[in-house]
Amino acid sequence: MSGSNSSARAEAEPLGLTVHSLPAADLDARRTRAGRIKMLLVLLVCSLPVLASYFTYFVVRPTARTNYGTLIEPVREIPAIALQSLDGASVPARSLVGQWLLVVVGPAACDGACEKRLFMQRQLHAMLGRERVRVDKIWLITDKGAVTPALRAAAEAEKPPLRVFRADGAAVANWLAPAPGHGLDEHLYIVDPMGHWMMRMPVDPDPKRVLGDLQRLLTASAGWDRPGR
């Protein structure tokens, strides 16, 4: 019977399946791209609060903002230089990251102008009130001269103490820069918690106006910056 013959042939003929697979290299490339995209998305999400606060401060409200200090554009990241404490201990410059920094630069033989800047630094820090826990005072000594015992004792007696480090002058000059016609040691410099030098105060600044800039910066960064490292 024809029906029986057809059934027999169908049962006798095995079914053939063709399996198509992606080359291993192509699969690895897709996984690598996916991993990179995920990493970039994570970095973007983490940086959004920082970018938003700076965008609001520097772009959205320019008419409401009158900067006294000079904004550094683009900002300059703190270099990987080795600092040295007055006791001779090596301190990586990147260890300062995590706090706002008020930076004074100059030789160990601190003259009257230097002492005035250190005094202003100390007063500004005190006037920040409860926000001062987010700010560190830094003095970078750019030579190998000796700090007088009186000045060292005064620095250590401050609450919190002034953090004093020796640093290579050329390396500091590659990071910070004075206004045209002035010396590196004539300014007060502001560094943000990510280690970016982002503002330079004028020579012989008005402390009240410097304080105004500091307060606005601390307010703008309150959403992402936290006290301490």
- Per CATH, the number for 68-220 is 3.40.30.10
Average pLDDT over residues 198-221: 95
Q: What is the dihedral of CA 93, 95, 99, 100, to 10 degrees?
A: 0
DSSP, collapsed to helix, strand or coil, labels residue 197 as strand
Q: How confident is the model at residue 1 (pLDDT cuts 50, 70, 90)?
A: very low
- Can you give the pLDDT at residue 222? 86
pLDDT at 206 over 90: yes
* Domain locations in the chain as residue ranges: 22-65, 68-220
pTM: 0.73
Give the C-alpha separation, 87 to 70, whole Å: 34
State the chain's mean pLDDT as an integer. Answer: 83
* Secondary structure letter of residue 108 according to DSSP: S
pLDDT at 103 over 80: yes
Query: Percent of the chain at pLDDT above 90?
Result: 63
Report how far apart, in Å, the C-alpha atoms of 210 and of each of 6, 123, 142, 183, 202 are.
97, 11, 24, 19, 9
Using an 8 Å Cβ cutoff, are 171 and 42 in contact? no
